[in-house]
């Protein structure tokens, strides 16, 4: 499992679709928002939690089409399906690799970019907590979408259409945690909902993804 994780990490960096691309997109969104809504500090402080969460979500979406496509193209996916390692574990490792190369850098960069959007001081901790708790769900859900569209030509657009509706609950509760934290409100309810979504996705979707892959590989 460790060897597979290291292989996927190396492929993500070599393909250029993980770390750099996601961070660049996140930065572009953060920089352009003040130009589009104006330099009003109060307005930026109000919308910053939602903007940062939306930017992180879209940044995670960028590299999903390459999650399984490279393995499909070179035949590695067929070998992984017949390996002693269960296909559920393979899918889980790929989701973990995606989170390490895409989700984790976004979590670490979010406080710095929050300064550009005038995020209130109490919101920085809650922004990091919500992203750290929610981005694993984005990677696992994205892996399920990639399994559904693997092998399809130009499946990137279809993948986005399939995954975006599944991302909405995570976006709602993640942004709500950051918003409430920024104005020093109680965050327990949206935080528990976000944790429940992540726990449910991590527990159930690897099995669904593996089942879909077995059908596609027949």
Lowest mean pLDDT among 57-61, 68-72, 100-104, 105-109: 68-72
Residue 51: is its pLDDT beyond 80?
Answer: yes
Let me know: does 86 contact 94? Beta carbons within 8 Å: no
Let me know: does 54 contact 171? Beta carbons within 8 Å: yes
Domain ranges across the chain = 2-216
Higher-confidence residue of 11 and 213: namely 213
The per-residue pLDDT for range 195-208, each reduced to its tens digit, is 999 999 999 999 99
Which residues make Cβ contacts (< 8 Å) with residue 61, sequence separation at least 6?
142, 160, 163, 164, 167
Residue 62: is its pLDDT beyond 90?
Answer: no
- Predicted confidence at residue 16, as pLDDT, reads 53
- Predicted confidence at residue 178, as pLDDT, reads 95
* pTM check: above 0.85: yes
What are the angstrom distances between the C-alpha of 195 and each of 87, 136, 188, 189, 200? 25, 10, 10, 10, 8
Of the candidates 105, 127, 139, 133, the residue with the CA atom closest to the CA atom of residue 52: 127
């Amino acid at each position: 499992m460790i060897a597979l994780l290291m292989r996927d990490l190396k492929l993500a960096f070599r393909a250029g679709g993980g770390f750099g691309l996601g961070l660049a997109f996140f930065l572009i969104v953060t920089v352009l928002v003040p130009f589009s809504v104006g330099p009003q500090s109060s307005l930026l402080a109000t919308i910053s939690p939602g903007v940062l969460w939306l930017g992180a979500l879209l940044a995670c979406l960028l590299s999903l089409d390459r999650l399984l496509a490279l393995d499909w193209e070179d035949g590695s996916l067929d070998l992984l399906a017949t390996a002693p390692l269960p296909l559920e574990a393979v899918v889980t490792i790929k989701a973990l690799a995606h989170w390490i190369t895409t989700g984790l850098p976004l979590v670490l960069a979010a406080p710095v970019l929050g300064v550009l959007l005038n995020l209130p001081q109490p919101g920085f901790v809650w922004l990091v907590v919500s992203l750290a708790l929610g981005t694993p769900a984005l990677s696992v859900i994205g892996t399920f979408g990639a399994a559904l569209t693997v092998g399809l030509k130009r499946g990137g657009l279809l993948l986005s259409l399939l995954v975006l509706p599944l991302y909405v609950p995570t976006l709602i509760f993640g942004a709500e945690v950051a918003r409430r934290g920024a104005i020093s409100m109680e965050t327990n309810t949206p935080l528990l909902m976000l944790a429940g979504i992540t726990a449910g996705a991590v527990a159930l979707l690897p099995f669904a993804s593996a089942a879909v892959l077995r059908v596609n590989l027949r």
